Amino acid sequence: METEVLYDLSPFVKIYNDGRVERLWGTETVPPSLDEKTGVQSKDVTLSSDSAVSARLYIPEAAIDSPQKLPVLVYYHGGCFIFETAWSPTYHNYLNAIVAEANIIAVSIEYRRAPEDPLPAAYDDSWTALKWVASHSTGNGPEEWLNSHACLEKVFLAGDSAGANIVHNLGIRSGEEKLNGIEVAGVMKVHPYFWGKEPLPSETTELEKRSFYEMLWQAANPTTTGCDDPLMNPMMDSRLSGLGWNKILVCVAGKDVLKYRGWYYKEALSQSGWSGVVEGIETPGEDHVFHLLNPGCDNAAKLMKKLVSFVNEDI
């Protein structure tokens, strides 16, 4: 007898009743390397023996023999918490590019994915990773690149899609639990993966589209109360004004179904009593994570320039 499909989330993933997961997108991986094009060196690390979290570290090769301390970018990949990895060529190439452009160190986090490890596993792993970065503040951490070359007073967080959702929820946690050892100078949320039960003005009312996003969220977080869960709809979170980040860049794309959520998030933050600074930019004519799917296009170059200047203006 054929196993029934519990969630058909094509073209991304199919999840079956018997627990089997068929990932259709973001399954290719590449090893760390010295990237000839950018001059960026990468390597993979396991954060600890009792942690499921690992990461790919990136550093400009020229910085390895230099006494200069570089800002650190902690990056969380997208993929609806279900597919894609820090090892995919998409993210590997993008991190090489941004590290070279901004002259920074990057720590690209590999967190556990749903449905095998449903939320909050990805949030918990992402927090564990941030604490691991902070453990290098005295110069005695487990990773030499961070001990010798990281300026932990200038740490930036970034993520696309689900990764941007993670960055937001880490900010809620940071508002409640002090994170010692690092100073987060700013965070970048690119095409954030937020949703809600009721459509926003101008947001799609097509039931098929809305139910697809609901199913994606349900598959990642089976115990959720739905799309108005504060983890997915920050506007429903009474703790929003206590968000731990002080400087936020929200990036949306003109053709992205999720863009209205990004703008609404920016407005809600500004009106919540939160004391930080938030900036929003929109790339017209582009769709969700276009800069990863087509990194060579003009708009991807413009977005890269914006992200790099956001990091470098504090230096």
Kindly list the structural domains of the chain, giving each domain's residue range(s) and its CATH number in brackets, ordered by start. Answer: 33-312 (3.40.50.1820)
Helices (H) and strands (E) in the chain, counts: 8, 12
> Which stretches does DSSP call E strand in the chain?
5-9, 13-16, 21-23, 34-35, 40-46, 54-60, 70-76, 105-110, 150-160, 184-190, 247-253, 277-283
Amino acid at 203: E
What is the predicted pLDDT for the residue at 166?
A: 98
Is 288 considered catalytic here? Answer: yes
DSSP 297: S
Cis upstream peptide for 120 (omega within 30°): yes
Residue among 102, 106, 72 at smallest CA distance from 92: 106
Hey, what are 224's tokens? 């959720």
As to burial, measured by CB atoms within 10 angstroms (0-12 exposed, 13-18 middle, 19+ buried), residue 65 is exposed
List the catalytic residue out of 92, 136, 168, 288: 288
SS3 146: helix
Other C-beta atoms within 10 Å of 17: how many?
10
How many residues appear in the chain?
315
CA distance 221 to 81: 9
The catalytically annotated residue of 125, 160, 237, 256 is 256
CB distance 50 to 131 below 8 Å? no
Q: Which two tokens stand for residue 34?
A: 């010295």
Q: What is the pLDDT of residue 2?
A: 63
Smallest Cα–Cα separation from 75: which of 105, 106, 48? Answer: 106
Write out the two tokens for 6: 């519990």
Q: Is 256 a catalytic residue?
A: yes
Is the CB of residue 186 less than 8 Å from the CB of residue 249? yes
Tell me whether residue 77 is one of the annotated catalytic residues: no
Which entry of 92, 161, 191, 291 is annotated as an active-site residue?
Answer: 161
Residues 146, 152: Cα–Cα separation, whole Å: 9
User: CA 62, CA 305: separation in Å to the nearest integer?
Assistant: 21
Q: Would you state the pLDDT for residue 201? A: 94
117 by Cβ neighbours in 10 Å (0-12 / 13-18 / 19+) ranks as: middle
Stretches where the chain sits below pLDDT 50 are: 1, 315
Query: Half-sphere exposure of 172 toward its Cβ, with a 13 Å CA cutoff?
Result: 19
Q: How far apart are CA 69 and CA 96, in angstroms?
A: 18
Q: Where are the beta strands (DSSP E) in 161-270?
A: 184-190, 247-253
